[in-house]
């Protein structure tokens, strides 16, 4: 069944979705500005690519992941030299690193890339004080042909099977940038609603 497009251009349901997303982005930008100006500086906060931001819901929880605009190609050599901050992550859900068992608390973080040797890259999550809150080794993802100009930005959520009793319900939250990705696990908190 085809719906007629309203005279304003969009079907009213699409207008509602677009409006809700715009409100979410505005709230995200306010949170990032308040938390990340000490980390990224005012110019760094302005480099957030809102058009590429990914807003995802996990039941009643929300995570937002947005890249920062970079000048020139971001190559492995440049990562070694500059240790760039490449994205901003905001999460309502505590994320558990399955290797180190460190927890990323709900909050806003700048995501940095750091070369640790060989082809290994670490994701550094910088909190409001400008120091890495957590550093964890990123896994290399299949990137196809490596021509030195690396692109890629994604978020992947695996929701838990709430009907499962074994293993206990949990989910996976993965971010990726360039050739690397990192996944965290979480157990659903007991929400009062």
Q: How many CB atoms lie within 10 A of CB 102?
A: 14
DSSP bridge pairs for 117? 120
The token pair at 112 is 């940095």
pTM: 0.74
DSSP string, 107-143: EEEEEEEEEEETTEEEEEEE-TTSSEEEEEEPEE---
Tens digit of each residue's pLDDT (9 = 90 or more) over 79-104: 889 999 988 999 888 887 777 778 88
Select from 114, 107, 101, 113 the least CA-distant residue to 129. Answer: 107
**Percent over 90 (pLDDT), the chain:** 12
Helix spans in 46-151 (H): 76-82
Max mean pLDDT among 2-11, 82-91, 117-126, 153-162 falls in 82-91
Radius of gyration of the chain measured on its C-alpha atoms: 18
* Average pLDDT rounded to a whole number, residues 164-192: 62
């Amino acid at each position: 069944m085809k719906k007629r497009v309203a005279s304003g251009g969009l079907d009213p349901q699409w207008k509602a979705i677009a409006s809700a997303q715009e409100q979410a982005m505005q709230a995200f930008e306010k949170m990032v500005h308040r938390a990340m100006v000490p980390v990224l500086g005012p110019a760094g906060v302005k480099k957030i690519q809102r058009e590429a931001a990914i807003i995802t819901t996990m039941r009643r929880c929300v995570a937002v992941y947005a890249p920062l605009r970079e000048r020139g190609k971001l190559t492995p050599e440049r990562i070694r030299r500059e240790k760039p901050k490449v994205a901003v992550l905001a999460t309502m859900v505590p994320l558990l690193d399955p290797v180190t068992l460190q927890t990323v608390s709900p909050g806003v973080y700048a995501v940095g890339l750091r070369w640790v040797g060989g082809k290994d890259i670490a994701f550094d999550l910088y909190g409001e004080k400008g120091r890495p809150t957590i550093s964890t080794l990123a896994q290399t993802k299949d990137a196809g042909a490596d021509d030195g100009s690396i692109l890629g930005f994604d978020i992947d959520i695996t929701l838990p099977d709430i009907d499962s009793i074994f293993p206990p319900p949990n989910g996976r939250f993965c971010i990726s940038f360039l050739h690397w990705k990192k996944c965290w696990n979480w157990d659903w908190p007991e929400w009062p609603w």
